[in-house]
Amino acid sequence: MTRGNGSSAIAKFTLTSLLLSFSGLLFAWGHQGHEVIAGLADSLLSPSARQEASRLLALEPGQTLTSISTWADEHRTKDNAKWHFINFPRDTCTYEENRDCRDGQCAIQALETQIAILSNKGVSDQDRLTALKFVVHLMGDIHQPLHAGFFEDKGGNQYQVQFEDRSTNLHALWDTDLIENLHLTNQNLINQIKLISSANKSINSNVKNSAQESCEIAHSSNFYPDRIIDKKYTEQFTPVLMERLSIAGHRLARLLNNALAD
């Protein structure tokens, strides 16, 4: 009996560890992060882009940019799993396609491909709607620093930390914990990030540059903590997180305004 209980405890611990290790892989930015980015972008659409987006979304009545923002996570398969991130070497954030995106399997190439489909009025509306779902989601992904992180720790998924007396990992911390720690509704968070003034909003940054920006944040001083997430860490990096949400929303709006224009 004792041996059986021990085996059960070990199995439970192993399962918990696996869930902690891979939780960040399941929902990048978490639901709230993606919904806030999509909601901000929605508020910045041009009239013609809004009309075209509404026409495509009407293929699935009741859908909005916000509601489709997590679709790509919920429909992740072995064929598109690598579309959600890109790994950079430890010593550089300069993108090299042959090294960093073999066979086009990375966030940069996937996003560029889906943007091209969305912009092409010659393809079917259903294919364009699917592309819209990917674009809304993946544009958010590449602005999360650890979606342009390092292969060695799977974008922080294997870097265990302690936050508010519980175990998590650095990827999950950035996906969900720092956002939830703000205790704001989606709309309140959108209102807060609209107040952020950032020069990067006005830059017509392409997909590659957006990913490289995220990589540079992951390389920045103190980004990888000494395992304990304290008040100093949250005070330093919560403004960074807020700015990434803001920039992602503004750039997504600009992208959609271009792709969906008449």
Catalytic positions: 29, 34, 73, 76, 84, 137, 141, 147, 171, 175
Residue 217's CB: how many other CB atoms inside 10 A? 21
Q: Helical H runs in the chain?
A: 2-26, 30-43, 47-57, 71-74, 97-100, 107-119, 125-141, 170-172, 178-180, 186-194, 207-218, 231-259
Euclidean distance between CA atoms 33 and 184, whole angstroms:
11
User: What letter represents residue 75's amino acid?
Assistant: H
Euclidean distance between CA atoms 149 and 81, whole angstroms:
16
Tokens of 202: 């006005």
Transcribe 174-216 into DSSP letters: IIIIHHHTT---HHHHHHHHHT---GGGGS---HHHHHHHHHH
Euclidean distance between CA atoms 70 and 97, whole angstroms:
27
Euclidean distance between CA atoms 116 and 258, whole angstroms:
11
Largest Cα separation within the chain, whole Å, is: 71
